[in-house]
Structure 1
Amino acid sequence: MPFWSRIAEYRSLHWSDFPWPVLSFSGPKNPSDLTLVAVSVYILSAFDLRRDKARSKERLREHIRKWHPNRFEGRFLKNVSEGREREKVRLGAGMVARFLNDLLARFHDLG
Protein backbone atom coordinates (compact mmCIF):
# COMPACT_ATOMS: atom_id res chain seq x y z
CA MET A 1 0.00 0.00 0.00
CA PRO A 2 1.47 3.41 -0.95
CA PHE A 3 2.56 5.60 1.94
CA TRP A 4 -0.03 8.32 1.31
CA SER A 5 -2.84 5.77 1.31
CA ARG A 6 -1.54 4.27 4.52
CA ILE A 7 -1.36 7.53 6.48
CA ALA A 8 -4.83 8.50 5.27
CA GLU A 9 -6.05 5.64 7.46
CA TYR A 10 -4.28 6.87 10.61
CA ARG A 11 -6.68 8.15 13.25
CA SER A 12 -4.16 10.55 14.72
CA LEU A 13 -1.52 12.35 12.66
CA HIS A 14 1.39 14.55 13.71
CA TRP A 15 3.88 16.76 11.87
CA SER A 16 6.47 13.97 11.93
CA ASP A 17 4.10 11.51 10.21
CA PHE A 18 4.14 13.41 6.92
CA PRO A 19 6.72 12.78 4.17
CA TRP A 20 7.80 16.41 3.85
CA PRO A 21 9.56 16.79 0.48
CA VAL A 22 13.08 17.67 1.62
CA LEU A 23 16.34 15.73 1.55
CA SER A 24 17.03 15.28 5.24
CA PHE A 25 17.43 12.21 7.41
CA SER A 26 15.60 13.82 10.31
CA GLY A 27 13.11 15.76 8.19
CA PRO A 28 12.03 19.33 8.87
CA LYS A 29 11.15 20.13 12.47
CA ASN A 30 8.86 23.04 11.64
CA PRO A 31 7.56 25.05 8.66
CA SER A 32 10.57 27.38 8.64
CA ASP A 33 12.73 24.39 7.63
CA LEU A 34 10.71 24.10 4.41
CA THR A 35 12.22 26.30 1.70
CA LEU A 36 11.82 26.59 -2.04
CA VAL A 37 15.41 25.41 -2.49
CA ALA A 38 14.98 22.39 -0.20
CA VAL A 39 11.75 21.31 -1.90
CA SER A 40 13.11 21.82 -5.42
CA VAL A 41 16.27 19.83 -4.64
CA TYR A 42 14.13 16.96 -3.36
CA ILE A 43 11.69 17.00 -6.29
CA LEU A 44 14.23 17.44 -9.06
CA SER A 45 17.28 15.62 -7.69
CA ALA A 46 16.54 12.41 -9.59
CA PHE A 47 16.49 14.06 -13.01
CA ASP A 48 18.71 15.91 -15.43
CA LEU A 49 16.47 18.84 -16.32
CA ARG A 50 17.95 19.17 -19.79
CA ARG A 51 17.25 15.54 -20.72
CA ASP A 52 14.32 14.65 -18.47
CA LYS A 53 12.22 17.80 -18.53
CA ALA A 54 8.96 15.91 -19.19
CA ARG A 55 9.59 13.41 -16.38
CA SER A 56 10.59 16.22 -14.03
CA LYS A 57 7.35 18.07 -14.77
CA GLU A 58 5.32 14.91 -14.23
CA ARG A 59 6.98 14.28 -10.86
CA LEU A 60 6.24 17.87 -9.94
CA ARG A 61 2.58 17.49 -10.95
CA GLU A 62 2.29 14.29 -8.87
CA HIS A 63 3.50 16.17 -5.82
CA ILE A 64 1.18 19.10 -6.53
CA ARG A 65 -1.76 16.68 -6.49
CA LYS A 66 -0.63 15.21 -3.16
CA TRP A 67 -0.07 18.57 -1.46
CA HIS A 68 -2.99 20.51 -2.97
CA PRO A 69 -4.61 22.32 -0.01
CA ASN A 70 -8.17 21.10 -0.63
CA ARG A 71 -7.11 17.50 -1.07
CA PHE A 72 -4.58 17.58 1.77
CA GLU A 73 -6.96 19.17 4.24
CA GLY A 74 -9.82 16.87 3.29
CA ARG A 75 -7.77 13.69 3.60
CA PHE A 76 -5.28 14.41 6.36
CA LEU A 77 -5.73 17.59 8.36
CA LYS A 78 -8.92 16.37 10.04
CA ASN A 79 -6.80 13.67 11.72
CA VAL A 80 -4.25 16.11 13.15
CA SER A 81 -5.13 17.19 16.67
CA GLU A 82 -6.64 20.66 16.84
CA GLY A 83 -4.54 23.57 17.97
CA ARG A 84 -0.86 24.28 17.38
CA GLU A 85 -0.07 20.94 15.75
CA ARG A 86 -2.85 21.31 13.20
CA GLU A 87 -1.83 24.88 12.37
CA LYS A 88 1.80 23.81 12.03
CA VAL A 89 0.85 21.04 9.59
CA ARG A 90 -1.55 23.33 7.69
CA LEU A 91 1.13 26.02 7.35
CA GLY A 92 3.78 23.51 6.24
CA ALA A 93 1.51 21.86 3.68
CA GLY A 94 0.48 25.27 2.33
CA MET A 95 4.11 26.29 1.96
CA VAL A 96 4.93 23.07 0.10
CA ALA A 97 1.96 23.60 -2.24
CA ARG A 98 3.08 27.17 -3.01
CA PHE A 99 6.68 26.08 -3.62
CA LEU A 100 5.55 23.31 -5.97
CA ASN A 101 3.32 25.68 -7.94
CA ASP A 102 6.19 28.17 -8.14
CA LEU A 103 8.45 25.45 -9.53
CA LEU A 104 5.83 24.48 -12.11
CA ALA A 105 5.53 28.13 -13.18
CA ARG A 106 9.30 28.26 -13.63
CA PHE A 107 9.10 25.17 -15.85
CA HIS A 108 6.50 26.90 -18.01
CA ASP A 109 8.77 29.95 -18.26
CA LEU A 110 11.57 27.71 -19.58
CA GLY A 111 9.40 26.80 -22.55
Structure 2
Amino acid sequence: MSEIEWVRGGGVLRDAQGRRDEARTERIRAELKLQEEEKTKIGRWRDYDERWKALAASDEALSFADIPWPLRTAPSSRDTDAFTLPAISEFLFESLSVRSNAVTKKSRIRGSILRWHPDKSSLVVGRVVAEDVDAVREGIHAVFHCLKRLQDDERDNNNSV
Protein backbone atom coordinates (compact mmCIF):
# COMPACT_ATOMS: atom_id res chain seq x y z
CA MET A 1 0.00 0.00 0.00
CA SER A 2 1.41 3.40 -0.90
CA GLU A 3 2.03 6.04 1.72
CA ILE A 4 -0.77 8.16 0.29
CA GLU A 5 -3.27 5.30 0.50
CA TRP A 6 -2.07 4.48 4.01
CA VAL A 7 -2.65 8.06 5.19
CA ARG A 8 -5.95 8.30 3.28
CA GLY A 9 -7.10 5.24 5.21
CA GLY A 10 -6.25 6.90 8.53
CA GLY A 11 -2.77 5.52 9.02
CA VAL A 12 0.25 7.38 10.37
CA LEU A 13 3.60 7.13 8.62
CA ARG A 14 6.72 6.00 10.43
CA ASP A 15 10.34 6.96 9.90
CA ALA A 16 13.26 4.56 9.34
CA GLN A 17 13.52 3.92 13.10
CA GLY A 18 9.81 3.08 13.39
CA ARG A 19 8.83 6.33 15.14
CA ARG A 20 5.70 8.18 14.12
CA ASP A 21 6.48 10.70 11.38
CA GLU A 22 3.76 13.28 12.09
CA ALA A 23 5.27 15.95 9.82
CA ARG A 24 5.30 13.73 6.72
CA THR A 25 1.86 12.37 7.57
CA GLU A 26 0.45 15.91 7.89
CA ARG A 27 2.00 16.96 4.56
CA ILE A 28 0.25 14.07 2.84
CA ARG A 29 -3.04 14.84 4.63
CA ALA A 30 -2.79 18.46 3.51
CA GLU A 31 -2.11 17.35 -0.07
CA LEU A 32 -5.09 14.95 0.00
CA LYS A 33 -7.33 17.73 1.31
CA LEU A 34 -6.11 20.11 -1.39
CA GLN A 35 -6.72 17.49 -4.09
CA GLU A 36 -10.27 16.98 -2.83
CA GLU A 37 -10.96 20.73 -2.82
CA GLU A 38 -9.60 21.05 -6.35
CA LYS A 39 -11.73 18.13 -7.49
CA THR A 40 -14.82 19.83 -6.02
CA LYS A 41 -14.02 23.14 -7.73
CA ILE A 42 -13.41 21.51 -11.10
CA GLY A 43 -16.56 19.40 -10.69
CA ARG A 44 -18.70 22.45 -9.96
CA TRP A 45 -17.46 24.20 -13.12
CA ARG A 46 -17.82 21.02 -15.21
CA ASP A 47 -21.42 20.52 -13.99
CA TYR A 48 -22.24 24.14 -14.85
CA ASP A 49 -20.75 23.78 -18.32
CA GLU A 50 -22.50 20.44 -18.92
CA ARG A 51 -25.85 21.95 -17.89
CA TRP A 52 -25.33 24.70 -20.46
CA LYS A 53 -24.53 22.15 -23.17
CA ALA A 54 -27.64 20.14 -22.29
CA LEU A 55 -29.78 23.27 -22.27
CA ALA A 56 -28.46 24.29 -25.72
CA ALA A 57 -29.08 20.80 -27.14
CA SER A 58 -32.65 20.66 -25.84
CA ASP A 59 -35.74 22.47 -27.05
CA GLU A 60 -37.85 21.91 -23.94
CA ALA A 61 -39.60 24.68 -22.03
CA LEU A 62 -37.51 26.13 -19.22
CA SER A 63 -38.22 27.50 -15.78
CA PHE A 64 -36.07 29.86 -13.71
CA ALA A 65 -34.61 26.84 -11.86
CA ASP A 66 -33.57 25.17 -15.14
CA ILE A 67 -31.12 27.96 -16.00
CA PRO A 68 -27.52 27.12 -15.00
CA TRP A 69 -26.85 30.32 -13.07
CA PRO A 70 -23.18 31.12 -12.36
CA LEU A 71 -23.43 30.62 -8.59
CA ARG A 72 -22.08 27.99 -6.20
CA THR A 73 -25.61 27.28 -4.94
CA ALA A 74 -28.70 27.68 -7.08
CA PRO A 75 -30.84 30.67 -6.18
CA SER A 76 -34.14 30.03 -4.52
CA SER A 77 -37.16 30.32 -6.75
CA ARG A 78 -36.87 33.48 -8.86
CA ASP A 79 -34.54 35.16 -6.33
CA THR A 80 -32.35 37.52 -8.37
CA ASP A 81 -30.91 39.09 -5.20
CA ALA A 82 -28.41 36.21 -5.18
CA PHE A 83 -26.71 37.58 -8.31
CA THR A 84 -24.08 39.69 -6.61
CA LEU A 85 -20.60 40.52 -7.83
CA PRO A 86 -18.89 38.57 -5.00
CA ALA A 87 -21.08 35.48 -5.53
CA ILE A 88 -20.57 35.41 -9.30
CA SER A 89 -16.84 36.13 -8.96
CA GLU A 90 -16.42 33.34 -6.44
CA PHE A 91 -18.06 30.83 -8.77
CA LEU A 92 -16.34 31.97 -11.98
CA PHE A 93 -12.86 32.14 -10.54
CA GLU A 94 -12.74 29.36 -7.94
CA SER A 95 -11.66 26.71 -10.46
CA LEU A 96 -8.90 29.02 -11.72
CA SER A 97 -7.03 28.42 -8.45
CA VAL A 98 -6.61 24.72 -9.25
CA ARG A 99 -2.94 23.91 -9.88
CA SER A 100 -3.60 22.29 -13.26
CA ASN A 101 -5.62 25.25 -14.51
CA ALA A 102 -4.63 26.82 -17.83
CA VAL A 103 -7.55 29.27 -18.14
CA THR A 104 -7.05 32.98 -17.45
CA LYS A 105 -9.45 35.31 -15.66
CA LYS A 106 -9.71 37.34 -18.84
CA SER A 107 -10.76 34.37 -20.96
CA ARG A 108 -13.21 33.12 -18.31
CA ILE A 109 -14.84 36.56 -18.17
CA ARG A 110 -14.93 36.85 -21.95
CA GLY A 111 -16.52 33.42 -22.42
CA SER A 112 -19.07 34.19 -19.72
CA ILE A 113 -19.96 37.54 -21.27
CA LEU A 114 -20.56 35.84 -24.60
CA ARG A 115 -22.77 33.25 -22.90
CA TRP A 116 -24.76 35.77 -20.83
CA HIS A 117 -25.05 38.65 -23.30
CA PRO A 118 -28.71 39.75 -23.35
CA ASP A 119 -28.82 39.62 -27.18
CA LYS A 120 -27.55 36.02 -27.21
CA SER A 121 -29.82 34.94 -24.37
CA SER A 122 -32.99 35.59 -26.37
CA LEU A 123 -32.83 31.95 -27.53
CA VAL A 124 -33.03 30.84 -23.91
CA VAL A 125 -35.63 33.43 -22.85
CA GLY A 126 -37.85 32.39 -25.75
CA ARG A 127 -38.15 28.91 -24.18
CA VAL A 128 -38.91 30.09 -20.64
CA VAL A 129 -42.42 29.50 -19.25
CA ALA A 130 -44.49 32.69 -19.09
CA GLU A 131 -44.52 33.03 -15.29
CA ASP A 132 -40.69 32.96 -15.14
CA VAL A 133 -39.80 35.17 -18.12
CA ASP A 134 -39.44 38.40 -16.16
CA ALA A 135 -37.34 36.78 -13.42
CA VAL A 136 -35.08 35.09 -16.00
CA ARG A 137 -34.60 38.35 -17.90
CA GLU A 138 -33.83 40.16 -14.66
CA GLY A 139 -31.37 37.43 -13.68
CA ILE A 140 -29.64 37.54 -17.07
CA HIS A 141 -29.26 41.30 -16.86
CA ALA A 142 -27.94 41.09 -13.29
CA VAL A 143 -25.39 38.43 -14.27
CA PHE A 144 -24.33 40.37 -17.37
CA HIS A 145 -23.94 43.59 -15.37
CA CYS A 146 -21.67 41.77 -12.88
CA LEU A 147 -19.64 40.27 -15.72
CA LYS A 148 -19.13 43.68 -17.32
CA ARG A 149 -17.93 45.04 -13.96
CA LEU A 150 -15.51 42.14 -13.65
CA GLN A 151 -14.27 42.80 -17.17
CA ASP A 152 -13.79 46.51 -16.41
CA ASP A 153 -11.99 45.68 -13.14
CA GLU A 154 -9.72 43.20 -14.93
CA ARG A 155 -8.95 45.75 -17.65
CA ASP A 156 -8.21 48.44 -15.05
CA ASN A 157 -5.94 46.07 -13.09
CA ASN A 158 -3.99 45.13 -16.22
CA ASN A 159 -3.58 48.76 -17.28
CA SER A 160 -2.23 49.80 -13.89
CA VAL A 161 0.46 47.10 -13.82
TM-score (norm 1): 0.83
Map of 1:33 onto structure 2: 82
Cα distance, 1:10 vs. partner? 3.0
Partners of 2:82 and 2:64 in 1: how far apart? Answer: 12
**CA offsets, 1:41-89, max 9 Å, x none?**
11111225xxx8x71110111111110000011x10011122x410000
Map of 2:125 onto structure 1: 77
**SS of structure 2 residue aligned to 1:70:** coil
**SS of structure 2 residue aligned to 1:13:** coil
| Stretch deviating more after TM superposition (2-11 or 34-43) | 2-11
Partners of 1:5 and 1:110 in 2: how far apart? Answer: 32
Q: Does 1:64 align with 2:130?
A: no
Partners of 2:81 and 2:138 in 1: how far apart? Answer: 10
Name the count of aligned residue pairs. Answer: 103
Task: Show structure 2 runs of 5+ residues with no match.
Answer: 1-49
Q: Does 1:22 align with 2:71?
A: yes
**SS of structure 1 residue aligned to 2:147:** helix
**SS of structure 1 residue aligned to 2:126:** helix
What is the root-mean-square deviation in Å for CA atoms of aligned residues? Answer: 1.9
**From 68, 91, 100, the counterpart of 1:42:** 91
For the pair shown, the structure with the greater C-alpha radius of gyration is 2
Deviating runs (4+, > 4 A) in structure 1?
none
% same residue: 26
Map of 1:97 onto structure 2: 144
| Higher RCO (CA-CA < 8 Å; seq separation 6+) | 1
